[in-house]
Amino acid sequence: MDSASIDSINIRPGVSILSVLKHLNYKPWFALAEFVDNAIQSYLEHSTELQILEGSDFKLIVSIDIDPTDDGKITISDNAAGIYRGDYARAFRPAAVPPETSGLNEFGMGMKSAACWFAEKFTVRTGALGEEVAREVYFDVNKIIQDSLEELTIKTTPKDKDIHFTRVTLSGLHRPLHGKTISKIKEHLASIYRDFFRKGILELTFDGDPLSYSEPEILKASYYKDELGPQIEWRKEINFDLGGGLSASGFAAIRETANISKAGFALFRRSRVIQGSGDEGYRPEFIFKKPNSFLYQRLYGELHLEGFDVSHTKDGFRWEDNEEAFLELLEEHLDAEPIPLLKQAEGHRVNPRPGELRRAAESATKHTAEVIEREMPQVIGSQLDSPIDESTPPIELSKATQASKRIIKLEINNTPWEITLDLSIDPSIDDWVDISNQPSLDQDVWKVGIRMSLVHPFMVQFSGADPEKVEALLRVATAIVLAEVTAAQSGIRGLSTLRRNINQYLKDALSKP
C-alpha cells in the first residue's frame, strides 16, 4: 500500500457508542454546526497552504442542502483542506480525541455524533489538499451494530492534488427538516457563526441562500435622568478576570428597538457562539430580572469566555460553580459609570409609533366597550340609587396583611406631610383603593394613607405580579387619593362617593375579561 492508499478503517473500540448517539440532546442547528466546525477547523489549520494555492482572498464556503423526498437527505459540503490520510482512522473511530484539542473539534466526536443523531446512514467523501486520491466511507449504523463490524471499506478514486473538499451526505433521517424548523436553523446558524462572517473567513449557505447576521442598531440617547443632556451611544466594552484562568471580554449595549426574541447575550468560545444564539439569548434572571421588563427586551451583547469548558454538544457552558461569580462581575461592569447600561435600559422610554398606538387603541376600546355593554348597566343602576357618602376618611388605615409599605416625608406649603403607600395582599380587603386622612392641626404632620389591594379582581386581571403594571396602577390610585384629599380641603363634599363608585366599577364590572 503506497503512502496515499488506504483500503479500510478500523472503527473499534467505541463502536457501541454509535447506537446511543441518536438519543443525544441536540437541537438541529447545533448538530449541523458540528459539520461547520470541522470545516472551519480544517481551514484554520491549513489556511496558509490554501491561500498559496487559491490566493490571499480565498474564503471557506460551507453549503448545507436539504432534500425532503423519500426519507429525507441532508448534504453538507465544504472547500476546506479535506481529511488527510494520516487523520482518516481517527476521524471515523468513535471517541477518538484529536491530538490538538484547542480548536473547534476538540472532542473528536462532532461529525459522528451529529451524523448518527440525524440519520441511520451517512457517507463521507473527501479529498485532501496535496493528495492525489479522494476517499469515501459509508456508515450504516444499524448494520454496524447488528453485525458487530470492526472495519469499514474505503472507496478510493484518483483526483488532482490541488482539489480539496469534504461532502457529508446524511440519509434515512430520524428527524426530517421542514417549515419553521428550517427557518430557525438558518437564524441560529447565522447567529452562531457571526464572528467568522465578520472576519471574512466563512461563507455559509443553506439551500443555496447565503446566511448573514444582522447587527442590531444601538440606542443613541441622553441619559433618562437628564433628558436635555448629551447624546450617548449606549455601548461599552466588557473585560474582566475571574481568576484561575477564567475571563470574559466583549461588549454590552442597549438595542435601539426593544425586541424580546433578539435581546440577551451571546456567549462565545473560540469565536463560535456556544450559548445565546438566535432567539435564545442568554438572559439570567440575576441580571435581566423578570421577562417582558424593558431590561429583558433591550440589553444585549457578546461575551467571549476563556477557560470555561463546554458540553459535548457544544450548546452550553459547564460553569462548575463559577456562574454566580461571573454574573456578579458582569452586573458590576454593566452598570458602572459613566455608561450605566442597566439603569438606562430600565429607565429609557420611547414614544410608540402612531401605527402601534392605533392598534393598541383599537384593541383597548373594543374590549372595554364589550365589558361596558355587558357589565356596566347593573352597576350604574345601583349607584344611581345609592345615597351620597358624606363620611370622612378614617385617620388610620385598618390592619391588613402587607406586601410592601413605604413612608414618604414631604413639606408642602410649610406643613410637614407624611404619605404612606401600603400594598396589601389581604383577601379580606374588598376595595381596590382605601384612604386614611389626618389633616394637620397647627404644626402637626399631615398624614395620608394610600392602600391598594394586589389581590383585588382588577389587579389579578390586569397586573398580576408584573412590577411595571403594579407601579402604573399604584400611581393611578395615588392620584385618586390625593385628589380626594386636596378637593376635600377646598370644601368639596361627598368625595367618598366618588371613591366608593370607582371601587365598585373596578370590582363588579371592569375587572371582567
Using DSSP's 3-state secondary structure scheme, residue 94 falls into: coil
CATH code for residues 8-210: 3.30.565.10
pLDDT in tens, the chain (513 residues): 344 467 888 887 667 788 888 889 999 999 999 999 999 999 999 999 999 999 999 999 999 999 988 889 999 999 999 999 988 888 887 666 666 666 787 666 789 899 999 999 999 999 999 999 999 999 999 998 888 888 899 999 999 999 999 999 999 999 888 889 999 999 999 999 999 999 999 999 999 999 999 999 999 999 999 988 999 999 999 999 999 999 999 999 999 999 999 999 999 999 999 999 999 999 999 999 888 788 999 999 999 999 999 998 999 999 999 999 999 999 999 999 999 999 999 999 876 767 877 888 999 899 899 989 999 899 899 889 888 888 888 888 888 888 899 999 999 988 899 999 999 999 999 999 999 998 877 668 999 999 999 999 999 999 988 888 899 999 999 999 999 999 988 888 888 899 999 999 999 999 998
Classified by CATH at the fold level, domain 220-347 comes out as Ribosomal Protein S5; domain 2 (3.30.230)
Other C-beta atoms lying within 10 Å of the C-beta of residue 373: 9
Q: How far apart are CA 429 and CA 457, in angstroms?
A: 11
C-alpha cell recorded at residue 263: 435581546
Spatial distance between the Cα atoms of 252 and 339, rounded to a whole number of angstroms: 11
Q: Are strands 415-424 and 446-453 parallel, antiparallel or unpaired?
A: parallel
The whole-model pTM stands at 0.74
Residue 444, CA atoms < 13 Å, CB-side half-sphere:
8
Domain boundaries, the chain: 8-210, 220-347, 351-385, 387-508
- Written in H, E and C, the secondary structure of 172-236 is EECCCCCHHHHHHHHHHHHHHCHHHHHCCCEEEEECCEECCCCCCCECEECCCCCCCCCCEECEE
